[in-house]
Structure 1
Amino acid sequence: MAHRLRAVGTEFVETAPVRFVFTREMSAPPEAVYRALAEDVPGWAEWFAAVTRAKASEDGSRRDIRLKGGGRFLETVVVAKEPEVYAYRVDVGNAPGLRALVEEWRLTPSGTGTHVRWTFAADGNAPCRLVLKAAGAGLGRAFRDAVVSLDRRLTG
């Protein structure tokens, strides 16, 4: 059952009770990575294995995301600063006990490529926090695999 989450801003990426930060280098330049994140939202289903469907609103300010296993999230883009930062928060989701969630992608030039930093920041009731903390290693693998897949897609 879907429920409304707490509206939080980008400061939440630093203060969330559950927070994971993952980094990875890519060969693709920051501009190409940013476009894949922010402008080709449907493309997420091609390179991020957990995503089965991704749709953006016409103006790009909202996202409808579906995940393997039945997860569904309606999101609002809270930062779209090309080519440096792309961040969104979940407004409505069906994950039990989840109260707030923000994901932030920071892109920094690294030689001819990009240093990618993904922050996953969440809050939930006690059982949800335990599940999220236990999922950290899996989130890290999902991020790594997604970035490798996206890099292949962009540098093909």
Structure 2
Amino acid sequence: MARRLRPVGIDFIESAPVRLVFATGAAAPPEAVYRALAEDVTGWPRWFRAVSLARPTHGGAGREVRLVGGVRFQETVMAADPELRYAYRVDETNVPGLHALLEEWRLAPAGTGTRVQWTFAAAGSAPFRLGLGAARAGLGRSFRDAVKTLDRRLAAARTP
């Protein structure tokens, strides 16, 4: 059953009770990574294995995301700063114990490539927080694998 979450502002990224931050590099330039994140929302399942469906809603101001295993999210895009960051808040989900969630993807030039940082900022019940702590390593691995896969796809698209 879908539940409404507490609406949070972009500042929640810094004040959330639980913050998981992961970073890795990509050979692709920031503009290409940003396009894949913010403009090609329907393409997420092709590079982020945990995502089974992603589509823009509300004229691009929101997103619907489904994960492998049945987790569903209705989201509001909170920041779409070309080549810098892409952030979204979860408004509705079927995840038990989750009270608020904001995710931010920060991009920074790194030589000819991009440093990609993903922050998962959440508030939830004690069992949710415990489960999230246990899932930290898997979330980090999933993020790094997704960025690696995205980078390969972007490189293939650039190759004539």
5+ residue gaps, structure 2: none
TM-score if structure 2 supplies the norm length? Answer: 0.95
What is the CA-CA distance between 1:9 and the residue it aligns to? 1.4
C-alpha distance in 2, partners of 1:5/1:45?
24
What is the CA-CA distance between 1:18 and the residue it aligns to? 1.2
> What is the identity, as a one-letter code, of the residue corresponding to 1:15?
S
User: Alignment RMSD, CA only?
Assistant: 0.8
Q: Could you say what secondary structure the match of 2:86 adopts?
A: strand
CA deviations over 1:79-98 (Å, ceiling 9, x no partner): 00101010001000000010
What is the CA-CA distance between 1:17 and the residue it aligns to? 1.2
Runs of 4+ in 1 over 2 A off after TM superposition: none
C-alpha distance in 2, partners of 1:137/1:59?
35
What is the match of residue 142 of structure 2? Answer: 142
CA deviations over 1:89-136 (Å, ceiling 9, x no partner): 100000001000000000001111101011001111111111111110
CA deviations over 1:31-66 (Å, ceiling 9, x no partner): 000000000001001000000000102521100000
Q: 1:3 and 2:3 equivalent?
A: yes
C-alpha distance in 2, partners of 1:128/1:23?
23
C-alpha distance in 2, partners of 1:90/1:139?
17
> What is the identity, as a one-letter code, of the residue corresponding to 2:116?
V
The count of corresponding residues between Structure 1 and Structure 2 is 156
TM-score if structure 1 supplies the norm length? Answer: 0.98
C-alpha distance in 1, partners of 2:35/2:4?
29
What is the match of residue 77 of structure 1? Answer: 77
What is the CA-CA distance between 1:2 and the residue it aligns to? 0.6
5+ residue gaps, structure 1: none
Name the % identity: 63
Q: 1:54 and 2:61 equivalent?
A: no
Q: Could you say what secondary structure the match of 1:69 adopts?
A: coil
1:111-150 pair list within 5 angstroms:
111-150=111-150
C-alpha distance in 1, partners of 2:8/2:73?
15
C-alpha distance in 1, partners of 2:144/2:85?
18
Q: Could you say what secondary structure the match of 2:9 adopts?
A: coil
Q: Could you say what secondary structure the match of 1:150 adopts?
A: helix
> What is the identity, as a one-letter code, of the residue corresponding to 2:122?
A
